[in-house]
């Protein structure tokens, strides 16, 4: 009986636990805290944080419980991540929620979304310099797109073993947008520039709104066909939103579909951060490069906005460049907050949504480019 | 392999340049198309604008064949339809003060359902029947109006 008791004890988490699981459980708790108490991306951080708890319960290998064990339930759910199924579903929901009208009213702001993608390619170079393989470097670089689903999608295709650290880095930095971006925005702009008021955007007709997703899809996927799964779903989601006659579908996409996909993606990505797999030197490198990527992307957007002002008659507020990273709508909100600190009557949110959503398109194109060049 | 050596060995520079160029050209292309979309839709919604556009092109071609003096003369004359509309504008201007605002006149023209109010108003400005008074308002030159429509 004593032997039986000892055998049972040896299979418990208390016996199998080592410091790596404890660290990851603590990180998971921090995520849950940030999500609930600080309201930083709660819809993502809470599922990921809890997923970290699930993934870091020390298990006796062979029971078929761990996410990396072939016959486990978690492994089947994780299939949606490794095969890139959840990110396009999330894009479908994003498309069904997003209003592209500010982008259509002033299409020149789209260039800010393109400029911010420079962070992706500079980080790609940084990751190569640090000794990562090109496919891994591309997956790390895409963190700078500030688009969790895109980062996961590309990593699933190019470097599946890095999904955990890349997803956690991408979502952590997305949640920390209000902390990371403002100092960079202030550093690269003068007070006078931050006070610039934007012109009122023109009214966009319903027809334009309906045609936009079709045109955007055709143009972008003809140019970068590998962006098809993400852009296809994004544009389709937007079309069913704008078409009105498909409102029922749009409602499902922006509620049930995106919520289900987010829950499954969050939980399984969190669970994939198993201490013994996750805590490696490359994870530390990924986190450092991810931070660099975010900072470069923000700076590139702001600097490009200043550059555009050299040629534009009606100047744009360079703070909008920071919204080019596609953390929708957080980076647009940050622009609004930083702008209003200088002038409480200056409303930049609506204008910042234009580079913000073009950043989503830009990062999906960048992911497509990487995929086609590396696959 | 680390540093620049690793970047060079893995074609890092060219991949980055190609990547940035594709992202930029994709979004530039999209922004150009989107910036023209509402104009195309406006044309399709009002086919008379397409006809007017081609008519204008023909007129410009004709004018290009004429000398500058003749062109100036053409600008200062009105055809029969334009003369009729100018008379209606004269009535509208009469209901206003001597110095009037152009948007107000345009509004009245639109309320009165005058044909092509924008282009006809533009023609009246070109023929100098409507003249700016220098303070942001305009006045109706009755003498010039009389000479032009006679």
Q: Where are the domains of chain A?
A: 81-269+277-374
For residues A155 and A257, give the distance between their C-alpha atoms in angstroms, rounded to a whole number.
Answer: 22
A chain contacts of residue B46, beta-carbon cutoff 8 Å: none
What is the average pLDDT across A328-344? 88
Percent of chain A beyond pLDDT 90?
A: 41
What is the model's pLDDT at position B75?
A: 54
| pLDDT band per the 50, 70, 90 thresholds, residue A319 | very high
Most A CBs within 10 Å: which of B4, B10, B20, B23, as the mutation test of the A interface?
A: B23
| Ordered alpha helix ranges (H), A11-129 | 13-16, 19-37, 42-55, 73-82, 86-97, 101-105, 110-116, 118-129
What is the model's pLDDT at position B68?
A: 57
Q: How far off is chain A from B12, nearest CA to CA, in Å? A: 6
**What ipTM, to 2 d.p.?**
0.83
* Residue A228: CB atoms within 10 Å: 16
Least CA distance to B29: which residue of chain A? A219
A97 touches chain B (CB under 8 A): no
What is the model's pLDDT at position B71?
A: 53
Pair A263, A119: CB distance under 8 Å: no
Residue B41 Cα to chain centre, angstroms = 16
- Residue identified by tokens 């092509």 is B116
Q: What is the mean pLDDT of each run of 10 residues along chain B (150 residues)?
A: 87 92 91 89 77 74 63 62 85 84 84 83 85 82 82
B chain contacts of residue A208, beta-carbon cutoff 8 Å: 37-38, 41
What is the average pLDDT across A49-69? 85
Q: Which structure tokens are listed for A199? A: 């012109």
Q: Judge whether residue A303 has pLDDT over 90.
A: yes
Pair B126, B73: CB distance under 8 Å: no
For residues A320 and A101, give the distance between their C-alpha atoms in angstroms, rounded to a whole number.
Answer: 16
Average pLDDT of chain A is: 89
Render pLDDT for A187-218 as a digit per residue (tens, 0 to 9). 999 999 999 988 888 888 899 999 999 999 99
Render pLDDT for B113-125 as a digit per residue (tens, 0 to 9). 888 888 888 888 8
Cβ of B3 and A129 within 8 Å?
yes
Render pLDDT for B34-63 as a digit per residue (tens, 0 to 9). 988 888 888 887 777 777 777 777 777 776
What is the model's pLDDT at position A163?
A: 86
Render pLDDT for A117-167 as a digit per residue (tens, 0 to 9). 888 999 999 999 998 999 999 999 988 877 888 898 899 889 988 888 888
For residues B35 and A177, give the distance between their C-alpha atoms in angstroms, rounded to a whole number.
Answer: 30
* Residue A203: CB atoms within 10 Å: 9
Q: Judge whether residue A81 has pLDDT over 60.
A: yes
């Amino acid at each position: 009986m004593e032997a039986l008791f000892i055998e049972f004890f040896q299979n418990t988490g208390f016996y199998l636990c080592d410091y790596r699981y404890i660290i990851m459980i603590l990180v998971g708790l921090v995520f849950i805290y940030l999500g609930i108490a600080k309201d930083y991306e709660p819809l993502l951080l809470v599922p990921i944080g809890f997923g970290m708890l699930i993934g870091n319960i020390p298990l006796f290998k062979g029971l078929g419980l761990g996410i990396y064990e072939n016959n486990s339930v978690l492994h089947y759910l994780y299939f949606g991540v490794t095969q890139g199924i959840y990110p396009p579903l999330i894009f479908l929901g994003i498309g069904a929620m997003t209003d592209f009208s500010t982008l259509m009213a002033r299409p020149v702001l789209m260039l800010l979304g393109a400029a911010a993608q420079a962070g992706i390619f500079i980080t790609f170079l940084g990751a190569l310099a640090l000794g990562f393989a090109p496919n891994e470097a591309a997956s790390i670089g895409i963190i700078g797109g500030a688009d969790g689903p895109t980062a996961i999608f590309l990593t699933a295709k190019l470097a599946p073993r890095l999904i955990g650290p890349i997803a956690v880095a991408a979502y952590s930095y997305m949640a920390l947008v209000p902390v990371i971006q403002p100092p960079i925005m202030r550093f690269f702009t003068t007070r006078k520039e931050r006070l610039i008021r934007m012109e009122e955007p023109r009214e966009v007709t319903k027809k334009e709104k309906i045609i936009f997703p079709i045109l955007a899809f055709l143009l972008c996927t003809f140019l970068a066909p590998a962006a098809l799964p993400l852009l296809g779903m994004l544009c389709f989601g937007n079309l069913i939103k704008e078409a009105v006659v498909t409102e029922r579908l749009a409602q499902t996409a922006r509620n049930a579909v995106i919520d289900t996909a987010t829950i499954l993606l969050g939980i399984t990505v969190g669970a994939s951060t198993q201490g013994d797999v996750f805590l490696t030197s490359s994870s530390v490198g990924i986190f450092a490069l991810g931070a660099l990527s975010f900072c470069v992307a923000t700076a590139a957007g702001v600097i490009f906005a200043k550059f555009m002002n050299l040629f534009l008659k009606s100047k744009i507020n360079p703070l909008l460049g920071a919204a080019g990273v596609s953390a929708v709508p957080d980076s647009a909100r940050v622009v609004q907050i930083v702008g209003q600190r200088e002038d409480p009557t200056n409303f930049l949110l609506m204008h910042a949504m234009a580079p913000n959503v073009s950043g989503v398109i830009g990062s999906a194109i960048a992911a497509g480019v990487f995929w086609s060049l590396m696959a | 392999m680390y540093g620049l050596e690793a970047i060079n060995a893995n074609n890092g520079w060219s991949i980055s340049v190609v990547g940035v160029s594709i992202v930029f050209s994709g979004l530039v292309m999209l922004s150009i198309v989107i910036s023209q979309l509402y104009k195309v839709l406006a044309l399709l919604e009002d086919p008379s604008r397409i006809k007017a556009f081609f008519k204008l092109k023909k007129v410009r071609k004709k004018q290009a064949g004429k000398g500058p003096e003749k062109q100036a003369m053409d600008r200062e004359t009105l055809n029969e339809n334009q003369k009729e509309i100018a008379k209606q504008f004269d009535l509208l201007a009469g209901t206003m003060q001597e110095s009037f605002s152009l948007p107000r006149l345009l509004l009245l023209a639109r309320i009165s359902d005058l044909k092509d109010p924008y282009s006809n108003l533009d023609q009246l400005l070109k023929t100098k029947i409507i003249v700016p008074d220098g303070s942001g308002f305009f006045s109706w030159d009755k003498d010039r109006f009389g000479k032009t429509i006679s």
